[in-house]
Amino acid sequence: MALRQRLLISAMAAGLAGGVSQPVSAAPWVKGFVVGAYEYAFRYGGRASFSREGEIEPGVDCPHGSSTHFANEDQTKVAVARQKWRSQQEIDWITAPPGLEMVRAPNLTRFYIWDRALSHRGYKKEVETYVNPWATDDPGQPQVNSRIGDGFNLDGKVNANDFVSPDGEKGIDNALYRAWGCDAPWRGNGNATLDLRANDKMQDGLYTMVIRISGNQDPRNDSDATLEIGYSPDRIVRDARAGMAMDYSYRILQSAQYTKLKAKIKDGVVETEQVEHLHTPRIAWFYDQTGDTNFTKGKLRLSIAADGLSAAGLMGGYRNWRDLYAENTFAQDGGQQGIREHEDHVALYYALRRNADGMFNPKTGKHDGISSVYRIRMVSAFVVDPAKPMEIPKLPLDEPRKIAFEATRLAMIKGAQTRIPQLVPPGTSEAAVGIMEGLLEDLPSADYFLKTLYRQRYEGEDEHGFPPWADQYRRYKPMKAAPKKPQQQVNAGKVTASAAP
């Protein structure tokens, strides 16, 4: 009713301007939305009553459980023990660094020792794992076994491995869900760690996505509507309860990350055409990840609430699976992302490659794309054109990091295509470069790890191993005036304490 009242006012104004009264059903109409929740369309088969503290029930879609790589010492030890070139002492000390109780930040120190070790799991220690995931064996990724999945029939076929939608449609293509849907940080119902992080950063101003729908018939039934989706330079407005505020104005940039599609609306359900390239903002929680999704064979399906104040639906198509790997893995660096979220991006690499099902490449005889579906939820907004054409604004202070991210992505793709190990481009924190050096200063076994754990060297490093872009990690170093405390000596696998002189 509220939607019809607002549209009635617009229609009356249009009729008065033209001097002729027209029926509301034939009047031009426009409706806008700002996206407040944006996530991969994974489904979950767990019981609603499941409430064991600290866990998410695997559910019927993941009978083999959720991925929990690097969740504890035992799992990390298994990962580093797979490399035949490591000694038993190295495996044991990585797992439980001697003297850890003596440092100011024991959890962080262990975290970044693991980061460096896990970043070198290739067939030889000089090969960085996350830029060259093909150079080590597949650790295994639990995959979705369910037949039920959200999405679209993107290829117009019904194949044996396709999903069936909750409302019974066959031939649903969402191979990303099969490959990645059992990964713990993406599992949940709005409360998974990476879902929460990405949506929080989006709502906090990292980027904004808007949708504008227009037509000439009826906003709930229009056979010739238009849907525009794209990036807005305006920050999302939140209400007093930190929710999405309704009916604020947002500009839509008709440049990058923008697509205009034909659509049909029936009983409030918007179904767009399938276009060769669907450009929209990416899911991101850091500036370096932001950019263009570039779905191939993309489309949207949205359901608008009866009052017009909200909408929800799906967006999907085929995405280059290497881009998806890079966007998640190099958000910070592969080790940080994996240890903090208990993922293993090597396992993810193999799972994405194994499940790729679109964008066939005749040169390689393999698929470059994987069918992917995103879930979006929106609230009503006024979506307007900017006064002057403009491009997506850049963040100058974060631009070097974005450049390093793109260089790392390209290095990973080149290595995967050529099977020639690639170096890590400068400007990243891959393998905890600089971070581990800063944290180890008061660890008794520091010299062992600095000498034993391989890391790439960069031009311009100082004598302490800090490259020019990693100087900020010096904040972990103890203050000069810190009181002396017992020193430790590391000998033959034992740690002993001695009084400081």
Answer yes or no: is 326 within a domain: yes
Is the pLDDT assigned to residue 493 strictly greater than 50?
Answer: no
Same domain, 351 and 460: no
| Cα–Cα distance measured from residue 430 to residue 424, given in angstroms and rounded to the nearest whole number | 7
Q: What is the pLDDT of residues 26-65, one digit of tens each?
A: 689 999 999 999 999 998 766 656 655 555 555 778 888 7
pLDDT computed for residue 43 by the predictor: 83
Is the pLDDT assigned to residue 22 strictly greater than 80?
Answer: no
| Cα–Cα distance measured from residue 21 to residue 14, given in angstroms and rounded to the nearest whole number | 9
79: nearest Cα among 345, 399, 431? 345
Q: Tell me the residue range of the domain where 148 lies.
A: 2-47+141-393
| Cα–Cα distance measured from residue 37 to residue 309, given in angstroms and rounded to the nearest whole number | 15
Same domain, 287 and 324: yes
Burial environment of residue 155 by CB neighbours within 10 A (0 to 12, 13 to 18, 19 or more): middle
Point out the least confidently predicted range of 1-10, 139-148, 218-227, 239-248. 1-10
Across residues 80-108, what is the average pLDDT?
A: 95
| Cα–Cα distance measured from residue 40 to residue 390, given in angstroms and rounded to the nearest whole number | 29
- The residue among 466 and 489 whose pLDDT is bigger is 466
Q: Which two tokens stand for residue 407?
A: 């260089």
Same domain, 7 and 130: no
Is the pLDDT assigned to residue 12 strictly greater than 90?
Answer: no
Burial environment of residue 477 by CB neighbours within 10 A (0 to 12, 13 to 18, 19 or more): middle
Same domain, 265 and 332: yes
Answer yes or no: is 59 within a domain: no
Q: What is the pLDDT of residues 123-147, one digit of tens each?
A: 999 999 999 999 999 999 999 998 9
Same domain, 40 and 189: yes
Same domain, 135 and 148: no
Answer yes or no: is 65 within a domain: no
Cβ within 8 Å of residue 185, ≥6 positions away: 192, 193, 194, 195, 341, 342, 343
Is beta strand 269-272 parallel, antiparallel or unpaired with respect to 249-251?
unpaired
Q: Identify the band that residue 351 occupies on the pLDDT scale cut at 50, 70 and 90.
A: very high
Is the pLDDT assigned to residue 476 strictly greater than 60?
Answer: no
Same domain, 243 and 345: yes
Q: Average pLDDT of the chain? A: 88
DSSP letter (8 states) at residue 257: B
Inter-CA distances, 455 with 219, 283, 319, 414, Å: 59, 30, 32, 21
User: Looking at 338, 366, 393, which one is the last position of a domain?
Assistant: 393
Number of Cβ atoms within 10 Å of the Cβ of 37: 17
| Cα–Cα distance measured from residue 444 to residue 102, given in angstroms and rounded to the nearest whole number | 8
Same domain, 182 and 208: yes
Give the number of domains in the chain: 2
